[in-house]
Amino acid sequence: MRILTVFLLLWAGAALADTSSPLFYTRATIAVMRKSPPQKTIPPLPWSKEQPVVVAEASNVGFDVEVRDGMTLYNQKGWFNLSSPSEKNGVLMVFAAPGQPPVIPMTQYAPLDILLIDGEGTIAQIIPNITLSELDRDIVPPSPVLAFLFLKGGSCQKLSINPGDVVDYKLFRRPPTVLSAPISPARREPAQDPVPPHGSQD
Protein backbone atom coordinates (compact mmCIF):
# COMPACT_ATOMS: atom_id res chain seq x y z
CA MET A 1 0.00 0.00 0.00
CA ARG A 2 2.81 2.39 0.89
CA ILE A 3 4.57 1.63 -2.39
CA LEU A 4 1.36 2.37 -4.32
CA THR A 5 0.94 5.68 -2.47
CA VAL A 6 4.51 6.74 -3.25
CA PHE A 7 3.99 5.79 -6.92
CA LEU A 8 0.81 7.86 -7.15
CA LEU A 9 2.53 10.88 -5.57
CA LEU A 10 5.45 10.62 -7.98
CA TRP A 11 3.07 10.27 -10.93
CA ALA A 12 1.05 13.31 -9.84
CA GLY A 13 4.21 15.37 -9.42
CA ALA A 14 5.43 14.41 -12.87
CA ALA A 15 2.08 15.32 -14.39
CA LEU A 16 2.18 18.75 -12.77
CA ALA A 17 5.74 19.33 -13.93
CA ASP A 18 4.96 18.28 -17.51
CA THR A 19 4.28 21.55 -19.31
CA SER A 20 3.23 19.69 -22.45
CA SER A 21 0.21 18.09 -20.77
CA PRO A 22 -3.18 19.39 -21.97
CA LEU A 23 -4.36 22.68 -20.53
CA PHE A 24 -7.93 22.20 -19.33
CA TYR A 25 -9.09 25.46 -17.79
CA THR A 26 -7.75 28.64 -16.27
CA ARG A 27 -8.45 32.36 -16.39
CA ALA A 28 -5.92 34.92 -17.54
CA THR A 29 -5.48 38.44 -18.81
CA ILE A 30 -3.96 38.74 -22.26
CA ALA A 31 -2.97 41.79 -24.29
CA VAL A 32 -3.24 42.34 -28.02
CA MET A 33 -0.39 44.56 -29.20
CA ARG A 34 -1.80 46.57 -32.11
CA LYS A 35 0.51 47.83 -34.84
CA SER A 36 -2.06 50.44 -35.92
CA PRO A 37 -3.97 51.64 -32.83
CA PRO A 38 -6.95 53.89 -33.51
CA GLN A 39 -6.59 57.64 -33.33
CA LYS A 40 -8.81 60.18 -31.67
CA THR A 41 -9.14 63.92 -32.10
CA ILE A 42 -9.07 66.19 -29.07
CA PRO A 43 -10.91 69.43 -29.90
CA PRO A 44 -9.51 72.69 -28.54
CA LEU A 45 -11.27 74.71 -25.90
CA PRO A 46 -14.01 76.98 -27.31
CA TRP A 47 -12.00 80.15 -26.68
CA SER A 48 -8.75 78.71 -28.03
CA LYS A 49 -7.44 79.34 -31.53
CA GLU A 50 -5.35 76.17 -31.53
CA GLN A 51 -6.01 73.37 -34.01
CA PRO A 52 -7.50 70.02 -32.88
CA VAL A 53 -4.90 67.55 -31.62
CA VAL A 54 -4.81 64.04 -33.07
CA VAL A 55 -3.38 61.39 -30.74
CA ALA A 56 -3.11 57.61 -31.01
CA GLU A 57 -4.63 55.38 -28.36
CA ALA A 58 -2.44 52.93 -26.44
CA SER A 59 -1.09 50.14 -28.62
CA ASN A 60 -2.18 47.40 -26.20
CA VAL A 61 -5.75 46.33 -25.51
CA GLY A 62 -6.44 43.82 -22.72
CA PHE A 63 -8.93 40.95 -22.50
CA ASP A 64 -10.02 38.75 -19.61
CA VAL A 65 -10.19 35.26 -21.10
CA GLU A 66 -10.95 31.67 -20.27
CA VAL A 67 -7.99 29.55 -21.38
CA ARG A 68 -9.04 26.05 -22.43
CA ASP A 69 -7.61 22.98 -24.11
CA GLY A 70 -8.26 23.41 -27.84
CA MET A 71 -9.31 19.79 -28.28
CA THR A 72 -12.47 20.44 -26.26
CA LEU A 73 -13.77 22.09 -29.42
CA TYR A 74 -14.07 18.62 -30.94
CA ASN A 75 -14.51 16.13 -28.10
CA GLN A 76 -16.52 18.07 -25.50
CA LYS A 77 -19.03 20.09 -27.48
CA GLY A 78 -21.32 22.17 -25.33
CA TRP A 79 -18.93 22.13 -22.36
CA PHE A 80 -18.18 25.81 -22.85
CA ASN A 81 -20.25 28.79 -23.90
CA LEU A 82 -19.12 31.25 -26.55
CA SER A 83 -22.54 32.77 -27.19
CA SER A 84 -22.41 35.86 -25.01
CA PRO A 85 -18.89 37.28 -24.59
CA SER A 86 -18.67 40.90 -23.46
CA GLU A 87 -16.52 43.60 -25.06
CA LYS A 88 -13.36 42.72 -23.11
CA ASN A 89 -13.95 39.01 -22.45
CA GLY A 90 -13.19 35.99 -24.61
CA VAL A 91 -12.15 32.35 -24.81
CA LEU A 92 -8.61 31.29 -25.78
CA MET A 93 -8.45 27.72 -27.10
CA VAL A 94 -4.86 26.46 -27.00
CA PHE A 95 -3.61 23.30 -28.72
CA ALA A 96 -0.72 21.09 -27.63
CA ALA A 97 1.39 22.05 -30.65
CA PRO A 98 1.04 24.24 -33.76
CA GLY A 99 -1.07 22.61 -36.46
CA GLN A 100 -4.00 23.24 -38.76
CA PRO A 101 -7.07 22.46 -36.63
CA PRO A 102 -10.30 23.41 -38.39
CA VAL A 103 -12.94 25.82 -37.21
CA ILE A 104 -16.07 23.66 -37.26
CA PRO A 105 -19.83 24.30 -37.03
CA MET A 106 -21.08 24.51 -33.41
CA THR A 107 -24.22 25.35 -31.52
CA GLN A 108 -23.12 28.96 -31.00
CA TYR A 109 -25.70 31.50 -32.18
CA ALA A 110 -24.08 34.89 -31.52
CA PRO A 111 -21.65 36.42 -34.03
CA LEU A 112 -18.00 35.93 -33.07
CA ASP A 113 -14.62 37.18 -34.20
CA ILE A 114 -12.20 34.25 -34.33
CA LEU A 115 -8.49 35.09 -34.24
CA LEU A 116 -6.10 32.38 -35.48
CA ILE A 117 -2.80 32.76 -33.61
CA ASP A 118 0.53 31.09 -34.42
CA GLY A 119 3.11 29.76 -31.96
CA GLU A 120 4.81 33.15 -31.65
CA GLY A 121 1.57 34.94 -30.79
CA THR A 122 1.11 36.61 -34.17
CA ILE A 123 -2.47 36.85 -35.41
CA ALA A 124 -2.26 34.98 -38.71
CA GLN A 125 -5.92 35.40 -39.69
CA ILE A 126 -9.18 36.84 -38.41
CA ILE A 127 -12.58 35.35 -39.20
CA PRO A 128 -14.90 38.30 -38.47
CA ASN A 129 -18.54 38.26 -37.40
CA ILE A 130 -19.14 34.57 -37.99
CA THR A 131 -22.07 32.62 -36.56
CA LEU A 132 -20.81 29.09 -36.00
CA SER A 133 -24.28 27.56 -36.01
CA GLU A 134 -24.67 28.77 -39.62
CA LEU A 135 -21.25 27.55 -40.79
CA ASP A 136 -21.79 24.97 -43.54
CA ARG A 137 -18.18 23.81 -43.93
CA ASP A 138 -14.98 23.61 -41.92
CA ILE A 139 -12.48 26.47 -42.12
CA VAL A 140 -8.93 25.11 -42.17
CA PRO A 141 -6.06 27.50 -41.36
CA PRO A 142 -3.65 27.83 -44.30
CA SER A 143 -0.64 27.75 -41.96
CA PRO A 144 0.04 26.21 -38.51
CA VAL A 145 -1.64 27.91 -35.55
CA LEU A 146 -1.37 27.27 -31.82
CA ALA A 147 -4.59 28.89 -30.59
CA PHE A 148 -7.99 30.32 -31.44
CA LEU A 149 -9.17 33.45 -29.65
CA PHE A 150 -12.95 33.89 -29.65
CA LEU A 151 -14.17 37.46 -29.15
CA LYS A 152 -17.52 39.17 -29.45
CA GLY A 153 -18.44 39.74 -33.08
CA GLY A 154 -17.26 43.12 -34.35
CA SER A 155 -14.62 43.56 -31.64
CA CYS A 156 -11.69 43.48 -34.05
CA GLN A 157 -13.12 46.20 -36.27
CA LYS A 158 -14.12 48.33 -33.29
CA LEU A 159 -10.74 47.99 -31.57
CA SER A 160 -8.58 48.12 -34.73
CA ILE A 161 -7.20 44.59 -34.27
CA ASN A 162 -5.74 43.25 -37.51
CA PRO A 163 -3.74 40.28 -38.83
CA GLY A 164 -0.10 40.83 -37.97
CA ASP A 165 -0.88 42.15 -34.48
CA VAL A 166 0.60 40.15 -31.60
CA VAL A 167 -1.08 38.47 -28.61
CA ASP A 168 1.05 38.77 -25.48
CA TYR A 169 0.61 35.68 -23.29
CA LYS A 170 3.06 33.26 -21.68
CA LEU A 171 2.10 30.31 -23.91
CA PHE A 172 3.33 32.11 -27.03
CA ARG A 173 7.09 32.02 -27.59
CA ARG A 174 8.45 34.97 -29.50
CA PRO A 175 11.99 34.71 -30.89
CA PRO A 176 14.63 36.87 -29.19
CA THR A 177 15.50 40.18 -30.76
CA VAL A 178 18.83 40.01 -32.59
CA LEU A 179 20.64 43.16 -33.76
CA SER A 180 23.26 42.87 -36.50
CA ALA A 181 25.84 45.33 -37.77
CA PRO A 182 25.31 46.46 -41.36
CA ILE A 183 27.70 44.93 -43.88
CA SER A 184 30.11 47.56 -45.18
CA PRO A 185 30.58 47.80 -48.97
CA ALA A 186 34.27 46.85 -48.62
CA ARG A 187 33.41 43.52 -47.01
CA ARG A 188 30.86 42.48 -49.57
CA GLU A 189 31.88 39.78 -52.01
CA PRO A 190 32.89 41.25 -55.39
CA ALA A 191 30.64 40.34 -58.27
CA GLN A 192 32.17 37.64 -60.45
CA ASP A 193 31.94 37.49 -64.20
CA PRO A 194 29.96 34.51 -65.45
CA VAL A 195 32.13 31.60 -66.58
CA PRO A 196 31.89 31.20 -70.38
CA PRO A 197 30.64 27.83 -71.60
CA HIS A 198 33.28 25.21 -72.41
CA GLY A 199 34.77 25.61 -75.87
CA SER A 200 33.60 29.18 -76.46
CA GLN A 201 36.02 31.77 -77.74
CA ASP A 202 36.35 35.44 -76.81
Successive 10-residue mean pLDDT values, the chain, 202 residues: 41 39 74 85 70 73 93 73 74 94 89 95 96 92 96 93 95 83 70 59 54
Closest CA to 90 of 176, 12, 28: 28
C-alpha span between 97 and 91 (Å, rounded): 18
Q: How far is CA 182 from the centre of its chain?
A: 32
Q: Could you tell me whether strands 25-33 and 60-69 are parallel, antiparallel, or unpaired per DSSP bridges?
A: antiparallel
- DSSP structure class, residue 8: H
pTM beyond 0.75, yes or no: no
CATH number of the domain located at residue range(s) 20-174 in this protein:
2.60.120.1140
Q: If you compute the radius of gyration of the chain from its CA atoms, what whole number of angstroms results? A: 25
Residue ranges covered by each domain of the chain: 20-174
Q: What is the pLDDT of residue 53?
A: 63
Q: What was the pLDDT predicted at 57? A: 75
pLDDT of residue 86: 77
- Contact indicator for 51, 41 with CB cutoff of 8 Å: no
Which amino acid is located at 44 in the chain? P
